[in-house]
A and B are shown apart, each in its own frame.
Chain A
């Protein structure tokens, strides 16, 4: 265990935000879900007792008859904003006084940095480069992330859960988002920071970053495993496997979306475009963990090889 190495990574000035992220993201996930569970308990009570539902103010926040539902912005909101500004300014001041922004040597095209890392917030994209070719990892998938995020309000056919924390009423949506945001994006940023060392090789936390380390690990392509060598064979085989992946994943999500019960009700509210967009985005999103599994566990680089592109 090389504590010095781990410490060095954790306190590199530009990595401080990720070290902060390691605490902030779990904290706010807990903070949000705790309120969600409190609301869920209330929802459970109200659903079990329709009489109560008619009279209850339907919030977990305290309420007494006669209390005003709205308060003046001045001073009740503005003082909170002022307080937030003071706290943020104080944090920023202390941070800026105690930690210096990094400045390396002057830019030198002849001296490659190893590892050459993108800014931390793009490390997720850089990590994707391990699993996909640059046109996929650097262009297609980021575009799909942006488009997919924008599409969320239009494909979410669930009318419940607007304006309050809840898990029970939006299980599907919240689990999917958390999987994408926490399970893929934030985790890959953390992997890119703490685990990827020289040569973008995998170093477990605490392992020394050995610049001379060599890994004798032959990457294979899926057609090679089945001894398919001809160009046409590889193309057609890859297309079939990709199609199989799409079919299986799509079928799986269809099963999940149409499970009897609440999900089914939401499914019935969807129009055909919403359904197809969800399927498309889910299949593309799941292709990342699928390729991660293939690459990290089975050392498979490409599944589908054509003269123009490889996946």
Chain B
């Protein structure tokens, strides 16, 4: 569902992302972890079509992002880490705005908007201005918007930031449910516990390069540690990389 080949991004003399290769199948939850400044967000932006790569390709559901960006983006529900929302719109207006851009027709919008708002406990605030929302509410609104057009791929950068434990549980359960229904989820996170509990496979990026990829057992073997948690595996792998 997501095919990334030799994806590279160079800024001047600095290589932010260096020839990353990935293949993620339908219905898989793929976790993307790495130290700060490793290139996670740059990679996610390229996959989401917000940033043009220096070289390499991104193919979403068989559609090349560079050749047909609109068609590829229409398959994606994009959830950024620090969402910008139009503060002077209400929650419902923002959903309508998103739905219009994804060609969600009015009958479907009416039912899905209410459904998603209820799912994310925002129904009572739908007609309030976004500027009155807390950070967690904004995060949930952006998730509600990203799911309106029933995307085949969800790309999410730091999904749990600003969410309370109930919301975190909700998001985890939701991702599992969507994956079971065939949606591919590409998730970047710092919360290793979430990655361990939720993801089918995990990729570790460091200094722009994919240094390890696989299930948590695969990663333990790679790091030469057995029965260790993901944090230990991560620190071993990224520490070795830095050394």
Partners in one complex: no
The interface of chain B, by Cβ under 8 A from chain A, is: none
